[in-house]
């Protein structure tokens, strides 16, 4: 009895496979579950139906189906789409992937004409087309979100341009900068991320449909017509590459890793600056959480998750690259593993960018805390520049100011508290006008060159970014 039941289950599991004619026995139910991708590739239902509608139309020209059959197929596909969108589509045993499920349901709706839809088409070129269609749409959505984030950063930089703060290298106080200058540093990095995304979008937007399983299409299918129907500006030039190429997926996953590297650095800075030890920033309650034990805690979990998810997305990219690296040419089942990391990366990026935008738009800047953390020691370089402007070579000026720092440490005082007489013992060029060095606003205003932290230089950055955003949105 147990053997009978096992054989019955195997037969039932393999009964509606698109490839079933070659096989005598059924598929082990464990293998069937292991093989099936419908639990996750159902997300492709809409684009899969788009591709099938276009292909049905293309089958008419070479006489593979009649216009009446085309209309029946298209109407049936639209009914399948309605079922997916309304949540009434019923998956059945044997629906191993979205292509099988859609074709099976189409046959139930319109009968034998459904069997002609797959003429000359393989799931190899079908899925490659589906993924490109889906990713193309997703890239457009992510692009809109990135533009919103860039806009929020730039508006914030414009509004907060008079706020000064310590700039850091090696996590130690270095020089005085404008808070807006720091914000714009993230903006310029994100601009490059956006430009890279636009470049990837061009390479995604290539149609592989009409490549068949690997050798091409033998029925004189008009691929230019398919490209026009599906709004692709280009078609793949080689059927082997068209069906097996997944570099566009790995490139997108690597892009996601680079974007998250940018945002992880942003998150790390803001986590540090929002801590009690710094107190520069206060996150809105909407983007913070508390502790189950310590009532006083306000945790920057939004930023910590941005930082943490960067590792997850980098893992998706590395994992898929390892999947690709050992594959022989053309399609292999390993390529089914492209979808879960791709879907997960896109889902996580959607949330990450939205959260980052929300944090930027709602945080409170504690400008007094930023200003109070400025110290005369951060003007040591300015003191060297003071001597340079009096014609002392910079290396000599650097050495002299090092001596000033050491003297102030020996006397347990700030450099600005050293007397003129004490400074003159270190170099004769020190004069009364040295007092002008100990001014934080004056310090930032000397950096007038493009890209600097003076008000004019940062304002130019802001205006240039607004110009870029206007162009990018058009």
**Contacts (Cβ under 8 Å, ≥6 apart) of 454:** 444, 445, 446, 447, 448
- Total residue length of the chain: 474
Q: Is 72 a catalytic residue?
A: no
- Say if residues 403 and 414 touch (Cβ distance below 8 Å): no
d(CA 323, CA 302): 32
- Say if residues 365 and 281 touch (Cβ distance below 8 Å): yes
Q: Which of 2, 86, 170, 474 is catalytic?
A: 170
Nearest to 141 by CA among 351, 382, 384: 351
Residues paired with residue 17 on neighbouring β-strands, in sequence order: none
User: If DSSP codes are grouped into helix, strand and coil, which group holds residue 19?
Assistant: coil
CA distances from 134 to 17, 197, 258, 290, 473 (A): 24, 15, 21, 38, 21
Q: Is 170 a catalytic residue?
A: yes
In this structure, the strands spanning 234-235 and 206-207 are parallel
Half-sphere exposure of 149 (CA within 13 A, CB side): 28
Run of H or E residues at 174: strand 172-178
Tokens of 380: 């040591």
**Contacts (Cβ under 8 Å, ≥6 apart) of 390:** 429
d(CA 290, CA 283): 12
**Contacts (Cβ under 8 Å, ≥6 apart) of 317:** 250, 253, 254, 256, 257, 341, 345
d(CA 108, CA 13): 18
In this structure, the strands spanning 234-235 and 364-365 are unpaired
d(CA 470, CA 442): 33
d(CA 130, CA 248): 13
Q: Which of 11, 275, 291, 403 is catalytic?
A: 291
Nearest to 119 by CA among 239, 218, 236: 218
d(CA 193, CA 199): 10
- Phi–psi pair at 312, nearest 5 degrees: -60, -45
**Contacts (Cβ under 8 Å, ≥6 apart) of 416:** 376, 379, 437, 438
**Residues taking part in catalysis:** 170, 291
């Amino acid at each position: 009895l147990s053997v009978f039941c096992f054989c019955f289950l195997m037969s039932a599991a393999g009964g509606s496979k698109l490839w079933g004619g070659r096989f005598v026995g059924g598929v082990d139910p464990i293998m069937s579950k292991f093989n099936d991708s419908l639990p996750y590739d159902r997300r492709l239902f809409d684009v899969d139906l788009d591709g099938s509608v276009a292909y049905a139309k293309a089958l008419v020209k070479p006489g593979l189906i009649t216009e009446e059959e085309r209309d029946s197929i298209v109407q049936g596909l639209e009914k399948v789409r309605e079922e997916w969108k309304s949540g009434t589509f019923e998956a059945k045993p044997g629906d191993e992937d979205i292509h099988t499920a859609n074709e099976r349901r189409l046959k139930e709706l319109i009968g034998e004409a459904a069997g002609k839809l797959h003429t000359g088409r393989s799931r190899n070129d079908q899925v490659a087309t589906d993924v490109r269609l889906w990713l193309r749409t997703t890239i457009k959505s992510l692009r809109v979100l990135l533009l919103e984030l860039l806009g929020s950063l730039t508006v914030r930089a414009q509004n907060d341009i008079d706020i000064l703060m310590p700039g850091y290298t090696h996590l130690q106080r270095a020089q005085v900068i404008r808070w807006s200058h720091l914000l714009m540093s993230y903006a310029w990095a994100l601009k490059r991320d956006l430009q890279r995304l636009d470049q990837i979008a061009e390479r995604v937007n290539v149609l592989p449909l009409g490549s068949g399983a690997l050798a091409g299409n033998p029925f004189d299918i008009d691929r230019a017509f398919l490209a026009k129907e599906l709004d692709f500006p280009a078609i793949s030039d080689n059927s082997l590459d068209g069906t097996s190429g997944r570099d566009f997926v790995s490139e997108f996953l690597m892009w996601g890793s680079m974007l998250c590297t940018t945002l992880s650095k942003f998150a790390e800075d803001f986590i540090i600056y929002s801590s009690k030890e710094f107190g520069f920033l206060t996150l809105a309650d909407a983007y913070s959480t508390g502790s189950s034990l310590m009532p006083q805690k306000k945790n920057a979990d939004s930023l910590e998750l941005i930082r943490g998810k960067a590792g997850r997305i980098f893992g998706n990219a590395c994992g898929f690259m390892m999947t690709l690296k050992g594959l022989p040419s053309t399609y292999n089942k390993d390529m089914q593993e492209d979808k879960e990391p791709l879907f997960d990366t896109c889902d996580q990026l959607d949330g990450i960018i939205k959260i980052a935008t929300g944090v930027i738009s709602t945080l409170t800047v504690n400008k007094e805390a930023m200003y109070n953390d400025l110290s005369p020691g951060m003007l040591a370089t300015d003191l060297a520049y003071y001597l340079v402007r009096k014609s002392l070579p910079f290396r000599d000026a650097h050495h002299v100011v090092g001596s000033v720092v050491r003297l102030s440490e020996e006397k347990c005082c700030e450099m600005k508290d050293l007397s003129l007489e004490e400074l003159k013992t270190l170099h004769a060029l020190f004069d009364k006008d040295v007092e002008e060095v100990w001014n934080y606003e004056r310090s930032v205003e000397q950096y007038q060159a493009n890209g600097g932290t003076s008000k004019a230089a940062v304002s130019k950055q802001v205006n240039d970014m607004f110009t870029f955003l206007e162009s990018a949105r058009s």
